[in-house]
């Protein structure tokens, strides 16, 4: 297969989520409401963890980073999609498409690795509590964060390099609401079998390995907790069950998308919508709602803010 960058396509036309105006309006309203409610919640999580000196454990450090990653991820697709609902011609430049692909895989890959790190942290805290302070010390936590950012970058740059070497000289319509890497490579003027196999190896295999590793980690934790007779048993069981559900919701669509790149399926757009827009906003909130310490700190922070506002109004 000879691949050389003879690209003459300068832009891609996005066909969008649906052609029905009524459905577009409904989806626009729902996503906008969802976006305006949940996104500030993610920033509240970050601010709460940063401002409360009592939330210094590795769990909260990683939770704050998860909220930051997901908040950043939600800016890649959702804002443009909301604007495109009112555009007759939904166009994205070639460079804009490559940029969107890079950040989707950079932040998405980093988040998958972060969830693995968070599972390892919970394993140490629950199954090896005496080693927690030595294994999960601040230096180790920062090193893990650096490693997962680097891992996300390497994963993403491989995707981008593969696409930059492809020639695009014909059709430029993408039947989606964002630059879906599977559809972009299908527009290339060359045989794509080898590139699709490389994509499965890079994205699909990475997603599958993270998924299996997470399931195995929480299975070990659940087995350990079930044998234990501590008073925190129910809390640990609840935490593990919640995180397994999150893993299934996050990695299920990703495996569906990247392990089956050779054919388009009717559910592709809805799966992509959930994977790129809905779940990134929900993820940190779900983690936080199961954590009593963060919820208590949030309430204390909001109460203090309200008191300050009332005091300011009274004085003026």
Listed as own residue / partner, the contacts of 197-206 with beta carbons closer than 8 Å and 24 or more positions apart are: 198/162, 199/159, 199/162, 199/258, 199/261, 200/258, 200/259, 200/261, 202/155, 202/158, 202/159, 202/162, 203/105, 203/155, 203/159, 203/258, 204/255, 204/258, 204/259, 204/261, 206/109, 206/112, 206/155
Superfamily the domain 11-304 falls into: Rhodopsin 7-helix transmembrane proteins (1.20.1070.10)
- Mean pLDDT value across residues 95-121: 91
pLDDT band at 1; cut points 50, 70, 90:
very low
The pLDDT, as a whole number, for residue 311 is 59
Q: What is the mean pLDDT of the chain?
A: 81
- Mean pLDDT value across residues 146-158: 93
The pLDDT, as a whole number, for residue 263 is 61
The pLDDT, as a whole number, for residue 141 is 92
pLDDT one-digit tens code per residue, 251-277: 877 777 776 655 666 667 777 787 777
Stretch among 95-99, 215-219, 272-276 having the lowest mean pLDDT: 272-276
- Mean pLDDT value across residues 29-47: 82
The pLDDT, as a whole number, for residue 261 is 56
192 or 148, greater pLDDT: 148
Calculate what percentage of the chain has a pLDDT beyond 70: 87
Highest mean pLDDT among 67-71, 146-150, 174-178: 146-150
The pLDDT, as a whole number, for residue 249 is 77
Highest mean pLDDT among 117-121, 228-232, 271-275, 309-313: 117-121
For residue 295, give every residue at least 6 positions away whose Cβ sits within 8 Å of its Cβ, in sequence order, or none: 288, 289
The pLDDT, as a whole number, for residue 290 is 67
**Residue 2: pLDDT above 60?**
no
The pLDDT, as a whole number, for residue 114 is 92
The pLDDT, as a whole number, for residue 186 is 83
CA triplet 248, 254, 258: central angle to 5 degrees? Answer: 145
């Amino acid at each position: 297969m000879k691949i050389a960058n003879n690209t003459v396509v300068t832009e891609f036309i996005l066909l969008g989520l649906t052609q029905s105006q009524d459905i577009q309006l409904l989806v626009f309203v729902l996503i906008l409401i969802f976006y305006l409610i949940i996104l500030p919640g993610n920033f509240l999580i970050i601010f709460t963890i940063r401002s409360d000196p009592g939330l210094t454990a590795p769990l909260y450090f990683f939770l704050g980073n998860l909220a930051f990653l997901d908040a950043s991820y939600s800016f890649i697709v959702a804002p443009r999609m909301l604007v495109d609902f009112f555009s007759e011609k939904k166009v994205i430049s070639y460079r804009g498409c490559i940029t969107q692909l890079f950040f989707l895989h950079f932040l998405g890959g980093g988040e998958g690795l972060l969830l693995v790190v968070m599972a390892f942290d919970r394993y140490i805290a629950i199954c090896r509590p005496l080693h927690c302070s030595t294994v999960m010390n601040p230096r180790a936590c920062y090193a893990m964060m650096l490693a997962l950012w680097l891992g996300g970058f390497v994963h993403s740059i491989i995707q981008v390099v593969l696409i930059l070497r492809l020639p695009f000289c014909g059709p430029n319509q993408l039947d989606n609401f964002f630059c879906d890497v599977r559809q972009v490579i299908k527009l290339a003027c060359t045989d794509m079998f080898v590139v699709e196999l490389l994509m499965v190896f890079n994205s699909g295999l990475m997603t599958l390995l993270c998924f299996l590793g997470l399931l195995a980690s929480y299975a070990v934790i659940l087995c350990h907790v079930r044998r234990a007779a501590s008073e925190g048993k129910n809390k640990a069981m609840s935490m593990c069950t919640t995180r397994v559900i999150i893993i299934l919701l996050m990695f299920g669509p990703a495996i569906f998308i990247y392990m089956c790149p050779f054919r388009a399926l009717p559910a592709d757009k809805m799966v992509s919508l959930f994977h790129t827009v809905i779940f990134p906003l929900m993820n940190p909130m779900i983690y936080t709602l199961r954590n009593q310490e963060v919820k208590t700190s949030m309430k204390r922070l909001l109460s203090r803010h309200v008191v300050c506002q009332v005091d300011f109004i009274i004085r003026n």
